[in-house]
């Protein structure tokens, strides 16, 4: 459902999620997956995401803004030394970079 | 009554969920002004009533002229107002009409008033009763951005804003999306609807029809039944075995399916219940146990689970 790509310099992981796969849970799991891939740990070795950001609220925001005029939104936040950028213009692109 | 009190030190922006009509809420807003009208700069943004109706309520409630006054009528531009449309705000402009699709012009117009009033010694009060129709005419994304900027500005100049929304017309999730922008949210229709339970524990996390809410209710009812700490992996297996709605298909031991529920519990659902004061976890987040507060909402969970 999601494709994950690590950059050659190893400090960025990009994960792409089809809009058809989006729901309020998948977006959170995808973010956790991308961060754990960048840090090379299991997702349950990270601190729970919800304590940093409400991913269900992000999912709802993307769902609501999806159906509109086709323009996407960009959401940026930081989590444990990582910068997370979610861009929803055509597909949902999650980019996690070491700060 | 003293009128030499300066503007509030920091702004407060409130979202009020109410099904009441404009005459009632505008009267309520004006009644809250404790000082003489001359102490305030008042901005009214509304789409519900005609300018005449608003001016009549304002006249009746205040009795005398406010320090400054502005009225922005948000509408479809076809309603007859009997008043001249102004293209910009100058010191004598009282009314500006903005079409409801033109949210950037609405923002500019509000700012023109605020810029003009910012440096005078009056206390700025903003009444905004146009969220419901804006939600119908612009995208939620546009409205979110608009509110984000406007609320920042209101806080920055130390003004007080009250925004009204009729929750009946919108999905709970739409309201949830804009709620975090405000300092205070009053009149939560959902909480009243489930019997006005005490808000001391986060019953909000247990309401709703979404798969996630159902998952949280199931998890909590399982923990209430067990009354001992449960390992997150065991909890995940139990969820999968029970084939509750969040899973969709029966579990056949598939690893991906296990991970999906396990990480959803680990990263999102359990922390939500922790924040709501309903469960506690150990330091590694691997052991989960219900709290005493959870027992207080047990009946609520059962009521919700009994629904078809």
Q: Which residue has the higher pLDDT, B118 or A70?
A: B118
Q: What is the mean pLDDT of each run of 10 residues along chain B (308 residues)?
A: 45 85 90 91 89 84 87 63 43 64 86 90 93 84 90 92 84 79 69 30 68 84 85 89 61 83 92 83 79 71 54
pLDDT at position B80 is 42
The pTM (predicted TM-score) of the whole model is: 0.49
**For residue A55, which residues of chain B lie inside 8 Å, CB to CB?**
267-268
Say whether residue B282 is in contact with chain A using an 8 A CB cutoff. no
Partner-chain residue, chosen from B180, B210, B272, that has the shortest CB–CB distance to A50: B272
Instruction: Identify the pLDDT of residue B262.
Output: 93
Tell me what pLDDT residue B81 has: 44
Interface contact B144, partner A, CB < 8 A = yes
| pLDDT tens profile A89-98 | 778 888 888 8
Nearest to B177 among A25, A61, A71 (CB): A61
Q: Do B266 and A43 touch (CB under 8 A)?
A: yes
**Rounded to an integer, what distance in angstroms lies between the CA atom of residue A81 and that of residue A12?**
12
Q: Quick one: pLDDT at residue B1? A: 40
- Phi and psi for B288 in degrees, rounded to 5? -125, 140
Q: Are the C-beta atoms of B205 and B213 separated by less than 8 Å? A: yes
pLDDT of residue A70: 57
Which of A74, A25, A24, A31 has its CA nearest to residue A52? Answer: A31
Cross-chain residue pair A48–B285, CB shorter than 8 Å: yes
Residues in chain B: 308
Whether the predicted pLDDT of A42 surpasses 60: yes
Q: What is the pLDDT of residue B3?
A: 40
Inter-chain touch B266–A68, beta carbons under 8 Å: no
Count of pairs with CB atoms under 8 A, one residue in A, one in B: 72
CB-CB under 8 Å, B285 with A44: yes
Structure tokens belonging to residue B84 = 């001249």
Q: Given CB atoms, is B267 within the 8 Å cutoff of chain A?
A: yes
Predicted local distance difference test score (pLDDT) of residue A3 = 75
């Amino acid at each position: 459902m999601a494709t994950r790509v690590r950059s050659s310099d190893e400090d960025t992981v990009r994960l792409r999620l089809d809009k058809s796969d989006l729901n309020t849970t998948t977006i959170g799991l995808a973010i956790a997956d991308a961060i754990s891939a960048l840090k090379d740990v299991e997702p349950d070795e990270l601190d729970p995401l919800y304590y940093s950001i409400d991913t269900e609220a992000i999912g709802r925001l993307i769902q609501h803004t999806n159906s509109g005029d086709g323009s996407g939104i960009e959401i940026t936040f930081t989590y444990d030394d990582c910068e997370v950028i979610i861009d929803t213009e055509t597909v949902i692109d999650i980019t996690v970079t070491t700060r | 009554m003293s009128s030499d009190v300066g503007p509030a030190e920091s702004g407060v922006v409130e979202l009020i969920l109410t099904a009441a009509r404009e005459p009632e809420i505008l009267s309520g807003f004006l009644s809250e002004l404790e000082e003489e009208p001359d102490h305030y700069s008042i901005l009214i943004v509304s789409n519900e009533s005609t300018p005449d109706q608003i001016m009549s309520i304002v006249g009746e409630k205040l009795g005398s002229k406010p320090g400054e006054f502005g009225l922005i009528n948000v509408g479809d531009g076809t309603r007859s107002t009997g008043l001249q449309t102004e293209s910009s705000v100058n010191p004598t402009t009282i009314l500006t009409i903005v079409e409801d699709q033109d949210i950037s012009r609405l923002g500019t117009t509000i700012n023109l008033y605020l810029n003009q009033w910012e440096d005078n010694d009056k206390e700025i009060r903003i009444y905004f009763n146009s969220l419901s129709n804006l939600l119908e005419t612009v995208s939620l994304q546009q409205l979110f951005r608009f509110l984000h900027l406007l609320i920042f500005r209101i806080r920055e100049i130390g003004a007080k804003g009250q925004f009204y929304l009729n929750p009946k017309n919108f999905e709970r999730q739409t309201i949830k999306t804009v709620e975090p922008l405000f300092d205070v949210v009053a009149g939560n229709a959902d909480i009243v609807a489930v019997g006005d339970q005490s808000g001391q524990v986060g019953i909000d996390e247990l309401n709703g029809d979404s798969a996630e809410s159902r998952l949280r209710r199931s998890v909590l009812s399982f923990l209430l039944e067990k009354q001992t700490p449960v390992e997150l992996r065991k909890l995940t297996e139990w969820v999968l075995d029970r084939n509750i709605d969040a899973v969709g298909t029966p579990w056949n031991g598939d690893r991906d399916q296990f991970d999906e529920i396990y990480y959803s519990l680990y990263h999102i659902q359990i922390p939500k219940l922790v924040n709501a004061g309903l469960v506690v976890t150990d330091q590694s987040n691997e052991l989960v146990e219900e709290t005493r507060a959870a027992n207080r909402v047990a009946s609520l969970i059962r009521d919700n689970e009994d629904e078809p």
